Protein backbone atom coordinates (compact mmCIF):
# COMPACT_ATOMS: atom_id res chain seq x y z
CA UNK A 1 0.00 0.00 0.00
CA UNK A 2 1.27 3.45 -0.91
CA UNK A 3 0.46 6.33 1.44
CA UNK A 4 1.18 9.95 0.59
CA UNK A 5 1.82 12.17 3.63
CA UNK A 6 1.78 15.87 2.78
CA UNK A 7 3.65 18.39 4.94
CA UNK A 8 1.97 21.29 6.71
CA UNK A 9 -0.33 23.15 4.30
CA UNK A 10 0.27 26.83 5.01
CA UNK A 11 -2.31 29.49 4.16
CA UNK A 12 -3.57 30.71 0.81
CA UNK A 13 -0.48 29.65 -1.14
CA UNK A 14 -0.52 26.26 0.58
CA UNK A 15 -4.06 25.60 -0.60
CA UNK A 16 -3.05 26.80 -4.08
CA UNK A 17 0.02 24.53 -4.08
CA UNK A 18 -2.29 21.65 -3.19
CA UNK A 19 -4.57 22.44 -6.17
CA UNK A 20 -1.57 22.90 -8.48
CA UNK A 21 0.61 19.95 -7.50
CA UNK A 22 -1.50 17.24 -5.88
CA UNK A 23 -3.07 16.01 -9.17
CA UNK A 24 0.43 15.59 -10.68
CA UNK A 25 1.79 13.93 -7.55
CA UNK A 26 -1.17 11.51 -7.58
CA UNK A 27 -0.49 10.70 -11.24
CA UNK A 28 3.20 10.06 -10.60
CA UNK A 29 3.07 8.11 -7.33
CA UNK A 30 -0.44 6.60 -7.46
CA UNK A 31 -1.05 6.66 -3.68
CA UNK A 32 -3.87 4.54 -2.24
CA UNK A 33 -4.30 6.89 0.69
CA UNK A 34 -3.44 10.56 1.23
CA UNK A 35 -3.10 12.32 4.58
CA UNK A 36 -1.89 15.81 5.40
CA UNK A 37 -1.07 18.11 8.27
CA UNK A 38 -3.54 21.00 7.98
CA UNK A 39 -3.00 23.07 11.12
CA UNK A 40 -1.70 26.10 9.19
CA UNK A 41 -4.21 26.03 6.32
CA UNK A 42 -6.14 29.12 7.43
CA UNK A 43 -3.72 32.03 6.97
CA UNK A 44 -1.13 30.08 8.92
CA UNK A 45 -3.31 29.50 11.97
CA UNK A 46 -5.85 26.69 12.16
CA UNK A 47 -8.21 25.27 9.58
CA UNK A 48 -11.72 26.30 8.46
CA UNK A 49 -14.51 23.98 7.37
CA UNK A 50 -14.20 25.14 3.74
CA UNK A 51 -10.45 24.40 3.66
CA UNK A 52 -11.11 20.99 5.19
CA UNK A 53 -13.85 20.26 2.63
CA UNK A 54 -11.60 21.28 -0.23
CA UNK A 55 -8.83 18.97 1.02
CA UNK A 56 -11.35 16.13 1.10
CA UNK A 57 -12.54 16.96 -2.44
CA UNK A 58 -8.92 16.82 -3.65
CA UNK A 59 -8.65 13.26 -2.35
CA UNK A 60 -7.19 13.67 1.13
CA UNK A 61 -8.61 11.10 3.54
CA UNK A 62 -7.48 12.50 6.87
CA UNK A 63 -6.05 15.73 8.31
CA UNK A 64 -3.71 15.98 11.31
CA UNK A 65 -3.09 19.10 13.41
CA UNK A 66 -0.67 20.47 16.01
CA UNK A 67 -0.10 23.55 18.16
CA UNK A 68 -2.43 25.67 16.00
CA UNK A 69 -5.23 23.07 16.14
CA UNK A 70 -7.76 25.38 17.77
CA UNK A 71 -6.57 28.77 16.49
CA UNK A 72 -9.57 28.90 14.16
CA UNK A 73 -12.15 28.86 16.91
CA UNK A 74 -15.07 27.38 14.95
CA UNK A 75 -13.23 24.09 14.45
CA UNK A 76 -14.90 23.13 17.74
CA UNK A 77 -18.20 23.01 15.82
CA UNK A 78 -17.09 20.46 13.22
CA UNK A 79 -14.00 18.58 14.45
CA UNK A 80 -16.04 15.80 16.08
CA UNK A 81 -17.88 15.06 12.81
CA UNK A 82 -14.79 15.26 10.60
CA UNK A 83 -11.79 13.25 9.48
CA UNK A 84 -9.57 15.66 11.37
CA UNK A 85 -7.50 14.48 14.32
CA UNK A 86 -5.74 16.70 16.87
CA UNK A 87 -2.76 15.81 19.10
CA UNK A 88 -3.73 12.91 21.36
CA UNK A 89 -1.79 14.35 24.28
CA UNK A 90 -4.21 17.22 24.82
CA UNK A 91 -6.39 16.86 27.89
CA UNK A 92 -9.27 14.40 27.58
CA UNK A 93 -11.76 17.28 27.76
CA UNK A 94 -10.50 18.83 24.49
CA UNK A 95 -12.83 18.41 21.46
CA UNK A 96 -11.89 15.96 18.71
CA UNK A 97 -9.90 12.75 18.82
CA UNK A 98 -6.19 11.95 18.80
CA UNK A 99 -6.30 9.05 16.38
CA UNK A 100 -8.56 7.57 13.75
CA UNK A 101 -8.75 4.26 11.92
CA UNK A 102 -9.57 4.11 8.21
CA UNK A 103 -10.38 0.97 6.25
CA UNK A 104 -8.77 0.63 2.84
CA UNK A 105 -9.59 -2.51 0.84
CA UNK A 106 -8.92 -5.28 3.37
CA UNK A 107 -6.50 -3.23 5.47
CA UNK A 108 -6.99 -1.05 8.52
CA UNK A 109 -4.86 2.07 8.82
CA UNK A 110 -4.68 4.01 12.09
CA UNK A 111 -3.27 7.52 12.03
CA UNK A 112 -2.19 9.00 15.37
CA UNK A 113 -1.36 12.66 16.00
CA UNK A 114 0.92 13.66 18.90
CA UNK A 115 2.72 16.83 19.83
CA UNK A 116 6.20 17.22 21.21
CA UNK A 117 6.82 19.27 24.36
CA UNK A 118 10.32 20.64 23.80
CA UNK A 119 10.31 24.32 22.69
CA UNK A 120 6.56 24.07 22.05
CA UNK A 121 5.19 25.91 25.06
CA UNK A 122 1.93 24.00 25.47
CA UNK A 123 1.41 22.04 28.72
CA UNK A 124 0.53 18.75 27.09
CA UNK A 125 0.67 15.21 28.45
CA UNK A 126 3.82 13.13 27.96
CA UNK A 127 3.62 11.80 24.37
CA UNK A 128 5.74 8.76 25.29
CA UNK A 129 3.18 7.68 27.90
CA UNK A 130 0.21 8.57 25.72
CA UNK A 131 1.44 6.47 22.80
CA UNK A 132 1.77 3.42 25.10
CA UNK A 133 -1.88 3.83 26.10
CA UNK A 134 -3.02 4.23 22.49
CA UNK A 135 -1.02 1.28 21.17
CA UNK A 136 -2.61 -0.97 23.78
CA UNK A 137 -6.00 -0.23 22.19
CA UNK A 138 -5.02 -0.15 18.51
CA UNK A 139 -4.71 -3.34 16.49
CA UNK A 140 -4.43 -2.14 12.88
CA UNK A 141 -2.47 -3.49 9.92
CA UNK A 142 -0.79 -0.12 9.44
CA UNK A 143 -0.10 2.52 12.11
CA UNK A 144 1.19 5.98 11.19
CA UNK A 145 2.16 8.75 13.61
CA UNK A 146 2.37 12.46 12.87
CA UNK A 147 4.66 13.75 15.64
CA UNK A 148 4.28 17.52 15.59
CA UNK A 149 7.35 18.97 17.25
CA UNK A 150 10.19 21.45 17.16
CA UNK A 151 13.17 19.59 18.64
CA UNK A 152 14.85 17.07 16.33
CA UNK A 153 16.15 15.17 19.37
CA UNK A 154 12.64 14.66 20.78
CA UNK A 155 11.30 13.48 17.42
CA UNK A 156 14.15 11.01 16.90
CA UNK A 157 13.91 9.74 20.50
CA UNK A 158 10.17 9.22 20.09
CA UNK A 159 10.65 7.36 16.81
CA UNK A 160 13.14 4.98 18.43
CA UNK A 161 10.75 4.52 21.37
CA UNK A 162 8.07 3.17 19.01
CA UNK A 163 10.46 1.51 16.54
CA UNK A 164 9.10 -1.90 15.55
CA UNK A 165 5.66 -1.12 17.03
CA UNK A 166 4.32 1.15 14.29
CA UNK A 167 4.64 1.36 10.50
CA UNK A 168 5.93 4.92 10.26
CA UNK A 169 6.62 8.09 12.22
CA UNK A 170 6.86 11.39 10.39
CA UNK A 171 7.57 14.73 11.99
CA UNK A 172 5.77 17.97 11.17
CA UNK A 173 5.84 21.60 12.43
CA UNK A 174 9.31 22.89 11.47
CA UNK A 175 8.21 23.42 7.84
CA UNK A 176 11.67 22.43 6.56
CA UNK A 177 12.03 18.97 5.06
CA UNK A 178 14.83 16.96 6.62
CA UNK A 179 17.22 14.74 4.69
CA UNK A 180 16.94 11.71 6.97
CA UNK A 181 14.14 9.52 5.60
CA UNK A 182 15.17 6.04 6.73
CA UNK A 183 14.21 2.67 8.10
CA UNK A 184 14.95 2.41 11.84
CA UNK A 185 16.65 -0.76 13.22
CA UNK A 186 13.38 -2.52 14.12
CA UNK A 187 11.63 -1.62 10.87
CA UNK A 188 9.71 1.60 11.49
CA UNK A 189 9.93 4.10 8.62
CA UNK A 190 10.94 7.58 9.74
CA UNK A 191 11.58 11.19 8.77
CA UNK A 192 12.19 14.05 11.20
CA UNK A 193 10.10 16.55 9.20
CA UNK A 194 7.99 16.40 6.04
CA UNK A 195 8.53 20.07 5.23
CA UNK A 196 5.72 22.44 4.28
CA UNK A 197 3.31 23.04 1.43
CA UNK A 198 2.94 26.78 0.87
CA UNK A 199 5.06 29.85 0.13
CA UNK A 200 8.59 29.12 -1.07
CA UNK A 201 10.21 32.40 -0.12
CA UNK A 202 8.53 33.26 3.16
CA UNK A 203 9.88 32.57 6.64
CA UNK A 204 8.26 29.16 7.24
CA UNK A 205 5.20 30.58 5.42
CA UNK A 206 5.09 34.04 7.01
CA UNK A 207 5.93 37.41 5.43
CA UNK A 208 9.66 38.09 5.35
CA UNK A 209 9.80 41.69 6.65
CA UNK A 210 7.76 41.08 9.80
CA UNK A 211 9.87 38.06 10.73
CA UNK A 212 13.19 39.80 10.09
CA UNK A 213 11.91 42.67 12.22
CA UNK A 214 11.11 40.23 15.02
CA UNK A 215 14.63 38.81 15.02
CA UNK A 216 16.23 42.25 14.55
CA UNK A 217 14.38 44.01 17.36
CA UNK A 218 13.40 41.16 19.65
CA UNK A 219 9.82 42.42 19.51
CA UNK A 220 7.10 40.00 18.50
CA UNK A 221 4.41 41.21 16.10
CA UNK A 222 1.51 39.43 14.45
CA UNK A 223 2.60 36.60 12.15
CA UNK A 224 1.09 37.31 8.72
CA UNK A 225 1.01 34.76 5.92
CA UNK A 226 2.85 35.41 2.67
CA UNK A 227 0.16 35.38 -0.02
CA UNK A 228 2.17 36.10 -3.18
CA UNK A 229 5.07 34.50 -4.97
CA UNK A 230 6.37 31.03 -5.64
CA UNK A 231 5.12 27.89 -3.95
CA UNK A 232 6.46 24.58 -2.70
CA UNK A 233 4.97 21.14 -2.04
CA UNK A 234 6.63 18.68 0.35
CA UNK A 235 5.88 15.29 1.78
CA UNK A 236 6.78 11.63 1.67
CA UNK A 237 5.51 8.51 -0.02
CA UNK A 238 5.39 5.50 2.27
CA UNK A 239 5.24 2.09 0.61
CA UNK A 240 4.20 -0.44 3.25
CA UNK A 241 4.82 -3.46 0.99
CA UNK A 242 8.31 -2.40 -0.11
CA UNK A 243 8.94 -0.96 3.39
CA UNK A 244 10.24 2.28 1.92
CA UNK A 245 9.91 5.97 2.66
CA UNK A 246 10.79 8.44 -0.09
CA UNK A 247 10.69 12.23 0.05
CA UNK A 248 8.76 14.35 -2.41
CA UNK A 249 9.80 17.98 -2.78
CA UNK A 250 8.55 20.28 -5.53
CA UNK A 251 9.67 23.92 -5.79
CA UNK A 252 8.05 26.27 -8.27
- Which residues contribute to the site for Fe ion (CB under 5 A)? 66-67, 173
Q: Taking the complex as a whole, how short is the minimal distance between the CB of residue 118 and Fe ion, in angstroms? A: 13
Q: Taking the complex as a whole, how short is the minimal distance between the CB of residue 69 and Fe ion, in angstroms? A: 9
Distance CA 198, CA 8 (A): 8
- Give 148's contacts (C-beta < 8 A, 6+ positions apart): 37, 39, 64, 65, 66, 67, 87, 113, 114, 115, 116, 171, 172, 173
Q: Taking the complex as a whole, how short is the minimal distance between the CB of residue 201 and Fe ion, in angstroms? A: 20
Residue burial 178-194, b: 16+ Cβ < 10 Å; e: rest? beebeebeeebbbbbbb
Residue number with CB closer to Fe ion (31 or 98)? 98
Residue number with CB closer to Fe ion (138 or 223)? 223
Residue number with CB closer to Fe ion (40 or 82)? 40
- DSSP SS3 for 115: strand
Say whether 68 is catalytic: yes
Q: Taking the complex as a whole, how short is the minimal distance between the CB of residue 243 and Fe ion, in angstroms? A: 28
Q: Taking the complex as a whole, how short is the minimal distance between the CB of residue 230 and Fe ion, in angstroms? A: 22
Residue number with CB closer to Fe ion (31 or 96)? 96
Beta-bridge mates of residue 235: 6, 248
CB 39 within 8 A of CB 47: yes
- Give 81's contacts (C-beta < 8 A, 6+ positions apart): none
List 42, 68, 148, 173, catalytic entry? 68
CA distances from 11 to 68, 71, 99 (A): 12, 13, 24
Distance CA 207, CA 12 (A): 13
DSSP secondary structure letter of residue 98: S
Residue number with CB closer to Fe ion (7 or 66)? 66
Q: Supply the residues annotated as catalytic.
A: 68
Amino acid sequence: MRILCIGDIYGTLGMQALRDYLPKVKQTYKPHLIITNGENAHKGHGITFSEYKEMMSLGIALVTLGNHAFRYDKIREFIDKSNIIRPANYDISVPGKGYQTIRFNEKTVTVINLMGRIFMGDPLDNPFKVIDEILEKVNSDIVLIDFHGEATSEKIAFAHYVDGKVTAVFGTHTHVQTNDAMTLPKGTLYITDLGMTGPLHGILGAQVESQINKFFTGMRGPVKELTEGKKQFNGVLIDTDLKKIDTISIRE
